[in-house]
Structure 1
Amino acid sequence: MSKVGIAQLQKRLDGLLAFLNPHWDFVNCHMVNYLTDQHWEVFLPGALRKEISGKEDAELAIEELFWQSNESGHRFQQWRVFLEIGKQERLALHPELLTSVEDLIEAQENAAQLSIREFMSAKKCHEVELTAALVDHIVKNSSQDCYIVDAGDGKGYLSSRLALQYGHKVLGIDANAANTENALSRNRKLQRAWNGLTERAELQSKGIIPKRRGKKSPTRDPQKSAPALDNYKTTSRFITTELNFGALLEYNFGQLLQNDSLNICLTGLHTCGNLAATCLQVFHAQNDCRLLCNIGCCYHLLRERYSQQEFFGNKALMDMQTDYGFPLSQYLQDRQVHMGRNARMLAAQSIERTLDAKELPNVTLYYRALLEVLVCRHTPQLKNELQVGKVRKFDSFEEYIQKCATKLEAPWLASVRDEELHSLLQEYATEKHYLDLFYLLRMSFAPILESLILLDRLLYLKELGYERSYLIDLFDPVISPRHFAIVSIKPPP
């Protein structure tokens, strides 16, 4: 298995930054201001703008460049070049920086993984099965007894699977006390249903259609006992580098495993915002943490060290965090690299899912941009100040505006006449198609921005001397957009 070196990571980060540096304002622009701030004219290179002239060109460009990915077309050559250069910066196009699960695990088990569908969506099931199997492999290949700590435990999806299917002792930690109670309740229900669920999965793996739930199977072993409940505990804590995991494990499990030292595998499935970065910092700070497997998400909630581009009260939320989540590596800190909140928000979007579904942005994005035009015309002092949020169940622009007026408690907006709204729609009719194309072009930067965050995390671990640190493309990106796992294994003490 080839090892990714520090110099190799630094070189790739240099390439990413060289590509991104001219476009930071573009990826940080707010789609709310698409019309008021003339994003099409301001952010698109002139060569790209020249190739789009009217609604038909915009629609054809979307079809050929994004839905069909037609590389042999003769039109939109400047767009094709621009998109291809960006595509080459994506992490998925640099397999030399990635490690496969097969390469990571020295002794693969031959037993087939059962697909156990238990009280969760198909997406979550996909994520939990693959993450649990990976964590189990890492722990077993470490040749040492381990407790597992699940950071940001939530409803206990991953913890329950690790405890019930694989028999590990797991402590789930979540900052929200309600989550820990719900996770325990869910685990109790799951424990009672576990034998039936595994039986169904075994039958399905053999191509047998199991009977409907509720009908007792004649093949079920009545002597087979349910898995033990005492493998899984939860606690409500805010995770920092100072949190004493050893004390928490001893409190929850009593007598710890009998070995010379406590060994902990710190994991987390879609740890939100700064928690992903904190897990890497905890892994380094606490000697008992010997193994790490983390999949992060919600990049917009990262606290940046150098960015001043935070919108709509987000900066106040960031200031509540005790540590910085980006950049982690000294290499990017020395360069004072910053992204901005909108760039981090964009990093969490999925171009793969959008292309697979051929999905244009919801019409609310266009309507919200039109609303901002009304703000600038009627109450300019409120520009960039209104937080509308989600607006559901409307059949027209007029109804959308009515719902916004009610939600915002804005009499000035409620008094805007339908004639003005009709006129506004006519004035910006073509812009709707330009906005869709602009949106897709901007989304093409998402995997590039995510690559910057992930490689910074991997480099951070390498800088600290953890040579056995890996980046694994774990999930199907269409099913689960945040599909990369960071794994690190400390050398024996």
Structure 2
Amino acid sequence: MSPSSYSLAEIQHKIDKVKQFLSIALRIANAHTVEFYTHNVWKQFVALPPEDVLSAVLRGSEQQGAPEFKRKDDSRSIFGFCPDTQRLVDAHELLRAATAHSLPGLGVCWSRDELLQTLREEKLESGAAGAEMGAELQPDEFMNSKKSHEVQSMSEVVACLAKCCGVRQVIDVGSGKGYLSSFLSLQYGLQVYGIDSSSINTHGAQERNRKLKKFSRSYQKRIKAVEAQREAEQSHQDTSEEEKVGFSGDGGVLCGAEGEIMSEETEKDFSDVSSARPNPETEEMFLSALSLDVIETMPPRISPTLLSAEERERRKKENLEKKALNRTDGTSAVFSPLTSYVTAETELRELISELEHAVMVGLHTCGDLAPSTLRMFVAKPELSAVCSVGCCYHLLTEEFDPAVQGCPDRLCGFPLSHYLHTHSWFCGRNARMSACLALERVSLGQGIQMESLFYRAVLHVILRDHYSAYKSEKRVGNVYSKATSFVDYVRRALRKLELDESKLSNSDVQEFHDRFRPRMNEMLAFNMLKVTLAPCIEGLILLDRLCYLKEQDVPVSALVQLFDPLLSPRCYAVVGLKMFGKQNCLS
């Protein structure tokens, strides 16, 4: 069955299967690594030697990747857990179950190519018009490989969604530094409104976009010049000797086949672009404009009340001229960064007075912003489509998590669907933290930084044994990165926690390290189990969002794998369309 044909009932059935598995396995994901030794976590949850678990994880399973996991009725375990003690007794069975209850194992996702093909077919049938491709930009010129991959992959999908819906406006929520927004406007000519809660981000994006416009003009002129040169060369081959370009004998001025005059400067420009080599000055400007780590400082803003009437009028006229230029200049990026904290209740038309019908997008929107994006899409008739890639699941608020007693003042991010809401389901913060782990990367050896976790867990033992206030301790923070040894780590941590470090000698501290070092394999094996469960927890969160769209009778709704998980672990998008074609959009 194609993922696109799953009904609401079938998605609910998939959710039930994942819930059944996680109701048993979630205990491992919710165990806190900090308490690993103080609570003897390994013996509490696992009845196997750590070497057996590590061996099972490294070897994988013969049935890994199978679409269905069928548990034998005569098995002495349920998904690898003993029904009596609830401890893990069969690592291979757990791994097979985890694979079967992930999104790939459940078979509920479209691939990016399948989505694009479907959108293009619908566009042809509906005759919808929308974004047009500009001169092709190469984002890897100004972004790292991860961001370049994400922006290129997602922007093509967003442009196709805009075409299918017959719209030219895009709202990018959580737009950050404006990479996706700028690329959508420059590459596809879309009118993009980037909304971010950080004024630093939006100010930086605005200045970066100004530089990008300059780069875009230069870039596209260079491309057009190269194309013109190629056409001229082709024409040169096809025309007679009398029509060839030659000297007119008029002071170094060249004449073209149609009699147009080209100066020596123009000839030099054509010579430069024919080699297709980037202008170093332009390239440097572009790279600096899109630096991942540097946001240029903005000049201090002067309050309008401190300006003279003439200056206020001059600035008003200048802003109107800039707006008019952006509307008429085809090479200008149509990108407007806005600063606002967005929730499901946000009135978009109050933020964007020119808003028409639009596609709402979010690239790695943190925590509750992803479900808020979907709630806005359902509630706002001006939103024709949505493409949302979430991240930072640990920042989600959960309505039924007893540890935080819900979120009484606002809508919670999980569960989003009525179906999971009626089951009062919650995951727990540690499980949501586990959902952020990257199985594909860990499988290739790009593993977890075990030493820092080990240091932190042994520190917790020291605090328990020697400091009565350890239960109410402050956060230790990133002490590990500055420490030169375990002893130095403990000293730095105690000072940060404002505890008396004179209680322990260096040899006392080292003794703790040496005592637990042989048990470090337990922590490694346990964290590998957490990594194995990560796709299942993420899958439930995303299925909840898909279920919500289907409950709202969104005509087209799907989960789509947009990115390569090795480059971008949060690779799944929730996509929804209300109607195809501008004439059919809800109004």
Query: Does the alignment reach a TM-score above 0.5?
Result: yes
User: How far did 1:70 drift?
Assistant: 6.5
Q: Per the alignment, do residues 243 and 213 of structure 1 end up closer, same or farther by CA in structure 2, a change over 3 Å counting?
A: same
Q: Per the alignment, do residues 81 and 23 of structure 1 end up closer, same or farther by CA in structure 2, a change over 3 Å counting?
A: closer
Does the alignment pair 1:333 with 2:417? Answer: no
Q: 2:514 aligns with which of 409, 414, 426?
A: 426
Does the alignment pair 1:488 with 2:576? Answer: yes
- Which runs of 5 or more structure 1 residues have no equivalent in the other structure? 218-224, 257-261
- Which runs of 5 or more structure 2 residues have no equivalent in the other structure? 64-87, 125-131, 227-273, 284-327
Q: Per the alignment, do residues 385 and 200 of structure 1 end up closer, same or farther by CA in structure 2, a change over 3 Å counting?
A: farther
User: How far did 1:437 drift?
Assistant: 0.9
Structure 1 contact 402–414 (Cα < 8 Å) conserved: no
Q: 1:85-484, aligned counterparts within 5 Å?
A: 85-98=97-110, 100-107=114-121, 115-142=138-165, 144-194=166-216, 211=277, 214=280, 228-229=331-332, 231-250=334-353, 253=354, 262-310=356-404, 319=407, 322-383=410-471, 385-391=473-479, 392-410=481-499, 412-413=500-501, 415-484=503-572
Comparing 461-470 with 208-217, greater Cα deviation is found at 208-217
Distance, in Å, in 2 between the alignment partners of 1:189 and 1:145 is: 26
Query: Secondary structure of the equivalent of 2:475?
Result: coil
Distance, in Å, in 2 between the alignment partners of 1:379 and 1:164 is: 59
User: How far did 1:226 drift?
Assistant: 8.4
Distance, in Å, in 2 between the alignment partners of 1:194 and 1:377 is: 63
Structure (1 or 2) with the larger CA radius of gyration = 2
User: How far did 1:395 drift?
Assistant: 2.5
Deviations along 1:153-180, one digit per CA (max 9) or x if unpaired, are 1101111011111100011111112211
Structure 2 contact 116–157 (Cα < 8 Å) conserved: no
State the AA in 2 paired with 1:231. Answer: V
Could you tell me the TM-score, scaled by structure 2's length? 0.71
User: How far did 1:12 drift?
Assistant: 0.7
User: How far did 1:326 drift?
Assistant: 0.5
Q: Per the alignment, do residues 114 and 184 of structure 1 end up closer, same or farther by CA in structure 2, a change over 3 Å counting?
A: closer
Q: Per the alignment, do residues 361 and 414 of structure 1 end up closer, same or farther by CA in structure 2, a change over 3 Å counting?
A: farther
Distance, in Å, in 2 between the alignment partners of 1:286 and 1:480 is: 30
Distance, in Å, in 1 between the alignment partners of 2:416 and 2:551 is: 10
Distance, in Å, in 1 between the alignment partners of 2:222 and 2:368 is: 39
Q: Per the alignment, do residues 215 and 463 of structure 1 end up closer, same or farther by CA in structure 2, a change over 3 Å counting?
A: closer
Percent identity at matched positions? 31
State the AA in 1 paired with 2:110. Answer: L
Structure 1 contact 118–190 (Cα < 8 Å) conserved: no
Structure 1 contact 149–171 (Cα < 8 Å) conserved: yes
User: How far did 1:488 drift?
Assistant: 0.5
User: How far did 1:191 drift?
Assistant: 2.0
Query: Secondary structure of the equivalent of 1:130?
Result: helix
Query: Secondary structure of the equivalent of 1:270?
Result: strand
State the AA in 2 paired with 1:102. Answer: L
Structure 1 contact 295–485 (Cα < 8 Å) conserved: yes
Distance, in Å, in 2 between the alignment partners of 1:456 and 1:425 is: 43
Q: Per the alignment, do residues 97 and 8 of structure 1 end up closer, same or farther by CA in structure 2, a change over 3 Å counting?
A: farther
Structure 1 contact 405–414 (Cα < 8 Å) conserved: no
State the AA in 1 paired with 2:485. Answer: S
Structure 2 contact 416–548 (Cα < 8 Å) conserved: yes
Distance, in Å, in 1 between the alignment partners of 2:173 and 2:282 is: 37
Distance, in Å, in 2 between the alignment partners of 1:435 and 1:16 is: 26
Deviations along 1:104-139, one digit per CA (max 9) or x if unpaired, are 323489989753225322111111111111100111
User: How far did 1:243 drift?
Assistant: 2.2
Distance, in Å, in 2 between the alignment partners of 1:200 and 1:27 is: 54
Query: Secondary structure of the equivalent of 1:98?
Result: strand
Deviations along 1:11-31, one digit per CA (max 9) or x if unpaired, are 111100110112333211110
Name the counterpart of 2:298: none
Name the counterpart of 1:81: 93
Could you tell me the TM-score, scaled by structure 1's length? 0.84
Q: Per the alignment, do residues 434 and 141 of structure 1 end up closer, same or farther by CA in structure 2, a change over 3 Å counting?
A: same
Query: Secondary structure of the equivalent of 1:401?
Result: helix
Name the counterpart of 1:259: none
How many residues of Structure 1 are paired with residues of Structure 2 in the alignment? 451
Q: Per the alignment, do residues 6 and 319 of structure 1 end up closer, same or farther by CA in structure 2, a change over 3 Å counting?
A: closer
Structure 2 contact 391–436 (Cα < 8 Å) conserved: yes
User: How far did 1:236 drift?
Assistant: 1.1
Name the counterpart of 2:80: none
Distance, in Å, in 1 between the alignment partners of 2:223 and 2:371 is: 36
Name the counterpart of 1:220: none
Structure 1 contact 188–229 (Cα < 8 Å) conserved: no
Structure 2 contact 60–95 (Cα < 8 Å) conserved: no
Distance, in Å, in 1 between the alignment partners of 2:11 and 2:397 is: 23
Deviations along 1:265-300, one digit per CA (max 9) or x if unpaired, are 111101110000000111111111111111011111
Distance, in Å, in 2 between the alignment partners of 1:197 and 1:415 is: 65
Name the counterpart of 1:222: none
Comparing 276-285 with 426-435, greater Cα deviation is found at 426-435
